[in-house]
Structures are given as structure tokens and as C-alpha cells.
Structure 1
Amino acid sequence: MLVTVSLVDIYLTVLFPRLGSSLLSLPLGKGMWRFVRLIARIAPFKDEKLLAHNGPMLMILTVIVWLCLLICGFALIIWPELGSAIQSSDGWTETDFVTALYYSGFSLTTLGTGDLIPEVGFQRLLIILEAALGFSIFTLTITYLFSIYSALIRRNTFALSLHHRSAGTADAAEVLARLGASGELSGVQQDISNMARDLINLLESQHSYPALLYFRFRQTYYALPRILLLTMDTATLMKTALNAQKYRSIVHSTALAELWGGSQQLLMELSSFFLPRSSLNMNQSLEEVWRKRYYYAVEKFREEGIEITPDLEYGASLYVSLRRKWNPILVGLANYMGYHWSEIAPYEK
């Protein structure tokens, strides 16, 4: 049973990687994150230092759990055969469980020390099977780690790009104002398309490697909630603040639909798999903050010569309505990852 559980989890994690399909890895990641958060709260140093190491430690722990389950599982099969079907080459054969673990361990790691020798066909075939599994699993593990870190680099590159697009402010209004400087939005569709492409890439990476969520960096601009805030708020402002008649080709573009839909899908899937329902309560007082935020963005667009919607009151109400759908979930995600909302959206105070 232990061998089967380990092999099924390796298959679901490495060869059939989809969010929610893991048998052990996802619960292990959740449990380790809760433990690390608990330790960070009582640690004498800043919690960011410890939380930043959670992702790499989770990778190590996952591999250790896989190996321990396989070694222990095969050891339980081997243990009753010590002294009979498996003999020591030096005479007396120890029959304790530690010897079974030793025999299973050197078989799985393909060390082949040779001081314990299988005497019957079944045990000879078993040691070949275990050695083949060990070689395959080490290869798959290396491939998995390379894939995880490649996806992580892509995520960090996207986060850094958004950080500099907003001039380090984390403000989607700043992103749009810069894209439409002097009122020219002719090239904004390509920029939004590039953002949407990077976001869909991030969505699929998170699908395939749920452990990516637990890589938390000390720099807030790498935070996944910050990425989602910038993409979702950019899409929300474009839907509610721009003049829909003049910029119809942008407001109704596939690029904007992809940016909005991809952000929504990623946020909802993360919420369903990682966030407790108690974390999704909405603070009604934030709606006034959002309304002020909308008028601030509109004024910024005016300064850059961008034409805005003629019905500002309707636009503000629509903006608040759309933010009501995603903001509570995003705040819950930020809290789950150990961030204060003021770190994710420093301009919303």
C-alpha cells in the first residue's frame, strides 16, 4: 500500500500534473505552509526570512516523503524473507526491520552493496523492480524540479515586468496612463495582449505545479496577489473608465477578454483549492475606498489626454460592482500567503 501510494502521487504530481489531482503533495504543501506560518509568528526574526525558504524546503520534503514511502513499503515486503529467501554473504543474516530498510534502501538507490543476496526468483525480480523504480524516480524528480524552477522564473519575470510598468507603485492606473500617454492608445492592445499571454502562461503553470503557490519571496513585487491585483485592476479600469465608443476596439478586444477571464479563472481556482471560506468575508467600508480609487484613476487618465466614459457615476458604480466580485478573494489570498493588504496595494489606504 505504501509503495502504491507513493507511485500514484509521483504519477499525479510529475506525469499528470493538474491542480487538485495530487494524492499527497498538495496536502503536504498545505500542512507545511501552516507549520511554517506558525513558526514564523513566534520566531524572533522577521517572518519573511523563514517564509521565503518554504518553497525550496517543500521540494526537499516532498522528495524525502516519496523515497521514505518506497523504502519502507519494500522493506515491509522484504522483512519476512530475511534469513530464508534473502541471505547474508558473510554467514549469519540479521532479521530485524533495520536490515530490511537497509536492503530496500540500497536496492532503491541502485547502490548494490551485495552483502545481502536474494536466493529465490521472486526476491531477485523484486530487487530489479525496486532498482528500476529508483532510477526512474530520481530521473523524474530532477525533471520535476527543473520544471518547477523554470515556471518560477517565468512567474518572477512577469511580476518584475508589471512592477516596472507601474513605476514601482503597484497601481494599475499608472500602467494604463503610461500605455496611453498623450491620449494615444493605438499600441495598448498589443501590450494588453502580451500581459494576457503571460498571465495565461502563469495560469497553466499553476495548474501543473500547485507547489508554485508556496514559493514566497521577501520582495512584495514578486507576490502572486500583486500580479493578480495589477492584471485584474487594469482590466476592471479599462472596462469601466475608458470611453467605450472611442476605444471600442480595445474595450471589446479579445486581449482584454483574455486578461479578465484568465485573472478570474486563476483567482477562483486558487480560492477553491487553498483558501478557507472564512477568509473570504468582505469589508463593506472598502467600497468607498474603491470609489475614490476610481475617481483618482479617471483624473490621471484625463491628465494624459485619455478620453474617459461620459457617465462617471455609472462607471464608478460598475467599477465597485466588479471589484466586489474579486477583491475579497484576492485579500484572502494575500492573507493566506502572509501579506498585509497594504503591502499588496500600498495606494489603497
Structure 2
Amino acid sequence: MEILPFLAGVILLALGFWDVFETIVVPRPTPSRLRLTRHIVPRTWRLWRAIGERRQGVARDLFLGLYAPAAAVLLLATWILTLVLGYALVLYAIRDQLEPVPQDFGSVLYFAGTSLLTVGYGDMVPAGPLARFVSLAAAATGLGIVALVITFLFSLFGSYQRREILVVQLQARAKAPPSAVTLLENYARLDLVAELPELFADWERWSAEVLDSHVAYPLLGYFRSSHDNLSWISSLGAMLDAAALVLTTLRGVPRGHAELMKRVGAHFVEDISNYLGFRGLDTSVVDEAQFQEAYRRLAAAGYELQAEDVAWRAFEHGRATYAARLEFLAQTWATPAPLWIGERTVIASPAHEARRVHEDARVQEAARVQEAARVQEDARVQEDARPS
């Protein structure tokens, strides 16, 4: 037995199994620097994002949206290659127990791969007891890794779909990208202000569930919404802003569920941003002029408001608990920053853009027909008014 390749193989196997265990089995973030995933995902994301930033509009969003599924496949490939290489090094150290005895490392690597993937062509077989044990261990762990990864993928996509339900629903209430002021205006216009507590309760549960899933599987944060101009980060920001406005600016609106939602949502943002390495200061990221515009819009919507100067100070203080951290998350994952108030930068998929162009053409055609009918009617009236 050759000691150095044997020890190197054992170390690689330990790293591979430890990374699979912490990534899939352990339902909480782990700060260990020995994890392969902890180094692979951030580095590949920075490279992927740098390439994506060279694109514009829909092309950029579509490209960035491919990263998370590709990263899941990359992790599976990394784990399998790590284990194949680890088993190959162990088998190379005891290659005299294989028949026929391999003449190079490539042959041993091939045998380790067929053992892990349970292919077993039979052109090379283990003859010694240790080689037989290693081959059986490779076959057993190969099946186990595939089963765990399948479970991992189902958990990822199940959590992703549950996360997106309320995000998509919010589009009808606050437009896309969502805005807290637009949300409150629409609820006042539709006479749904009494249902705001129910909305906040739904987003309180959403925050708790998404916090739990994204802490267990940090890769979920890289999954982007499949709908144009939507992001779970901007949606959460809109709901936190709406809760902050209810607590600091609006009068006559129930505050209990808004307070609970803001607590859970801010805790969610704090935990995720700390995991990703937030080192900034907690600030409100909003100026008084923007608040004054929001104040006027809410007053025009029919809300009873607190005194403006008192509301501004309270809102600025309340928003500081989450705003800078949300901006950090948006920058990290290259999603649109949470909208507070102001102009919207809207992107549209090719299908949606084509539908918009078609709708604009239809409206223009209807306007031309109406104008032609009006001209004909004016001409007829003038003809009738002429003396015979």
C-alpha cells in the first residue's frame, strides 16, 4: 500500500461527504471553510454575474436566471467527481489488489467511476479484501449521493414555487416592480383597507417559511422569479415599507399584524444578510423629499395621516432596520433594488413585449377608425346644413 495517495484519497472523500452532509442534510447554515460549496457557489456566481452584466434588459435577466439551476447541476457534478477522484486515489494505493493490475492512474480512475456509478463492465475487478470493500463502498455511496441530490432538487424547487406564490399575487396589488405606496393606494381605491391585516399576516407566514428554507438551502437565494419585473427581494421590501407606513404614518388602520410582519421580515433580512457578509450601516436609504411625495399620495388616496414631521422621523427610524440590508441583498443577487417611490425601470420578455406592441397597434387602429368616423360625420352635418 502506498500511504500518500491513500491519505489523499481519504481526505478527498471526507471533504466530499462532509460537503454533501452539510449542504443537503443539515437544515441550517454552517460556517465551515472546509466546504466545497462555500467556495464554488460565490466564485462561480461572481463570474456568471460579470458576464451577465454585459447584457441589457431581458437578455441580462434571462442569463442571470440560468445560474441557480446550473449551479445545482454543478454541485452534483462536483460531488461525484470529488468522490470518484477520492476512491481512485485509495484504489491506486492498493492497485495490486485489482485484476488485471492497472498500469496507470487513468485506469484506476475509470474503475472508480464505474464502481461509484454502479456500471460495472467487468473488465477490471477487485481481488483483495480491501479493494473489494472500497468498491462496495463506492457503489453504495454513489447510489446514496444520487438519492440525496434528487431529494435536494425536489426541496429546492418546492421551496422556490411556494416562495413565488405571494410574490406573483402582489403584482395585482402593487404592480411590478412592487411599491408600498402603490399597494396602499390600490387598497384604498378598491375599498380593501380593512383587509390589510390579513395581507400582513400572510406575509408574516411567508417571511418565516422563506427564512427557514433559505437558511437551510442558501442556493435558493440565487433562483430568480420567472415573471417579468418581479423579485422576492423587492416584494418583501414593498411589504416591509407598507408595514412601516401603517405603523408610523397612517391613522385608523389596524397595526397589530403590520408590527408582527415587520418584526419577522426584518429578522429574515438580518439573518440572510449576515450570512452573506453584510458589513454596512443600518440606514433608511430614503430622503425626506421622497417621503413628502408619498405623504401627499397617501393623503390623496383618502387615508387619515399623522403629522408629517412626526411621521417622517418615525418612518426613517423604522425603515433603518431593514432597508440597507435589502439593498445589499439586491446587489449581491443582482436583482432590482426594492422600490420605495419614483420612476420604474420596466423590462419585458419577448412574448410580453410582442403582446404590448400588438395592443398598442390595436389601440392606434381603433383611434384612426374613430377619427375617420368623426370626420365623415362632420362632413355629413355640414352637407345637411347647406341651403338647398
TM-score over 0.5 (shorter chain)? yes
Higher relative contact order (CA 8 A, sep 6+): 1
CA contact (8 A) 1:52 1:216 kept: yes
5+ residue gaps, structure 1 = none
Deviation at 1:179, TM superposition (A): 3.6
CA contact (8 A) 1:155 1:202 kept: yes
Count of residue pairs the alignment pairs up: 330
Out of 28, 31, 34, which is 1:18 matched to?
A: 28
Q: Does the alignment pair 1:69 with 2:82?
A: yes
Partner in structure 2 of residue 348 of structure 1: 342
Partner deviation per Cα, 1:87-117 (whole Å, 9 max, x = no partner) = 12xxxx3331111111111111111222111
SS at match of 2:263: helix
Partner in structure 1 of residue 325 of structure 2: 329
CA contact (8 A) 1:29 1:214 kept: no
**Change in CA separation of 1:276 and 1:258 when aligned onto 2, cut-off 3 Å:** closer
SS at match of 2:82: helix
CA contact (8 A) 1:275 1:336 kept: no
Deviation at 1:34, TM superposition (A): 0.4
**Change in CA separation of 1:290 and 1:20 when aligned onto 2, cut-off 3 Å:** farther
Q: Supply the AA of the counterpart residue of 2:207.
A: L
Q: Does the alignment pair 1:299 with 2:309?
A: no
Partner in structure 1 of residue 44 of structure 2: 32
Report the Cα distance in structure 2 between the residues aligned to 1:71 and 1:105, rounded to whole angstroms.
5
**Change in CA separation of 1:39 and 1:168 when aligned onto 2, cut-off 3 Å:** closer
Partner in structure 1 of residue 62 of structure 2: 49
User: Which of these two proteins has the greater Rg computed from alpha carbons?
Assistant: 2
Deviation at 1:131, TM superposition (A): 0.8
Report the Cα distance in structure 1 between the residues aligned to 2:192 and 2:125, rounded to whole angstroms.
78
Deviation at 1:301, TM superposition (A): 4.1
Partner in structure 1 of residue 310 of structure 2: 314
TM-score, normalization: structure 1?
Answer: 0.85
Q: Supply the AA of the counterpart residue of 1:174.
A: T
Report the Cα distance in structure 1 between the residues aligned to 2:44 and 2:138, rounded to whole angstroms.
29
Partner in structure 2 of residue 214 of structure 1: 222
Q: Does the alignment pair 1:87 with 2:99?
A: yes
**Change in CA separation of 1:317 and 1:220 when aligned onto 2, cut-off 3 Å:** farther
CA contact (8 A) 1:293 1:348 kept: no
Report the Cα distance in structure 1 between the residues aligned to 2:190 and 2:176, rounded to whole angstroms.
21
TM-score, normalization: structure 2?
Answer: 0.77
Deviation at 1:218, TM superposition (A): 6.8
Deviation at 1:236, TM superposition (A): 0.6
Report the Cα distance in structure 2 between the residues aligned to 1:8 and 1:212, rounded to whole angstroms.
20
**Change in CA separation of 1:289 and 1:72 when aligned onto 2, cut-off 3 Å:** farther
SS at match of 2:273: helix
Q: What is the percentage of aligned positions where both structures have the same residue? A: 22
